[in-house]
């Protein structure tokens, strides 16, 4: 009897699992990693819809597979975004970033990433009901961006510039724009005898104990010497960019005063 009960429980679990997956919409790009990556990054019970209001922009062809620009425009999204997760389907490490916006309405996020081969790129934005809205784009590429050696390390003066942050805050009619470039090799760990060495944590901080404007977790798919762009629909009085890599190095730069 106990064996029969265990079998019934197992079958019921499988049916429930199939039911969850059956609720996911089909992938218009036909990627073999569609269901796997949703389950891996959003969860097996994730509620998912395709949504063009998650305006993901990547080039049709990556001229440089180690530096592919990605922009997520959320200005048409009907509410302040919750969690944001981006991944590159066919990269050796598909995860690109996970971001948690603070109380200020985030309207745009951009950075460069690596691509190993032609692939679909995804960005999922969670709404207040817990539903994930996914924007998808296909980028063609010659490939090899994830396994290409860092160009930064070939510069004999790279240590002198290591961790340098350039950029600042720019007032806009609709709010505030932060644009920064960070000198870091961002080694993927996929080149022989070179361990992974990359910025894994990013925070955009306000002063005086205020909540974070944004926190991000980056993975090895982020590009060398990363360029970040963040746009908000309101103007926070000040912000400081803080970063930490997987070797424990920390970097910080104030991006704006009372603007």
Judge whether residue 185 has pLDDT over 50: yes
Beta bridge mates, 110: 71, 229
* CA dihedral angle for residue 123, residue 128, residue 129, residue 135, rounded to 10 degrees: -20
Identify the pLDDT of residue 90: 97
DSSP 62: E
Q: What is the pLDDT of residues 10-19, one digit of tens each?
A: 444 444 444 4
Identify the pLDDT of residue 21: 53
CA distances from 258 to 73, 99, 208, 236 (A): 26, 25, 13, 8
Q: What's the predicted TM-score (pTM) here? A: 0.88
Closest CA to 92 of 225, 188, 218, 226: 188
- Output the six-digit token pair for 38: 């949703």
Identify the pLDDT of residue 154: 67
Q: How far is it, in rounded angstroms, from Cα 76 to Cα 215?
A: 22
Q: Is CATH 3.10.20.30 what the domain over 2-256 is classified as, yes or no?
A: no
Q: What is the pLDDT of residues 64-113, one digit of tens each?
A: 999 999 999 999 999 999 999 999 999 999 999 999 999 889 999 999 99
Residue 122, phi then psi, degrees to nearest 5 = -130, 145
């Amino acid at each position: 009897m106990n064996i029969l009960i265990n079998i019934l429980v197992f079958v019921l679990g499988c049916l429930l699992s199939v039911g969850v997956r059956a609720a996911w919409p089909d992938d218009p790009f036909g990627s073999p990693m569609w269901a796997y990556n949703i389950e891996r990054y959003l969860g097996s019970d994730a509620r998912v819809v395709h949504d063009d209001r998650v305006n993901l922009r990547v080039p049709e062809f990556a001229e440089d597979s180690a530096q592919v620009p990605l922009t997520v425009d959320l200005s048409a999204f009907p509410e302040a975004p919750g969690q944001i997760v981006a991944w590159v389907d066919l990269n050796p490490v598909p995860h690109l970033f996970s971001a948690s916006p603070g109380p200020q309405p985030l309207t745009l996020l951009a950075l460069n990433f690596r691509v190993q081969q032609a692939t679909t790129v995804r960005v999922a934005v969670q709404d207040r009901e817990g539903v994930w809205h996914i924007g998808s784009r296909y980028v063609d590429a010659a490939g090899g961006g994830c396994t290409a050696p860092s160009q930064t390390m070939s510069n004999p003066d790279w240590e002198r510039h290591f961790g340098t942050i350039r950029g600042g805050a720019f007032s806009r009619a609709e709010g505030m724009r932060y644009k920064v470039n960070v000198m870091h090799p961002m080694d993927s760990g996929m080149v022989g005898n070179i361990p992974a060495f990359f910025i894994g944590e990013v925070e955009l901080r306000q002063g005086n104990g205020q909540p974070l404007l944004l926190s991000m977790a980056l993975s090895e798919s982020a590009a060398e010497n990363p360029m970040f762009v963040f746009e908000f629909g309101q103007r926070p009085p000040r912000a400081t960019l803080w970063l930490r890599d997987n070797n424990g190095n920390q970097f910080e730069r104030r991006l704006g005063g009372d603007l």
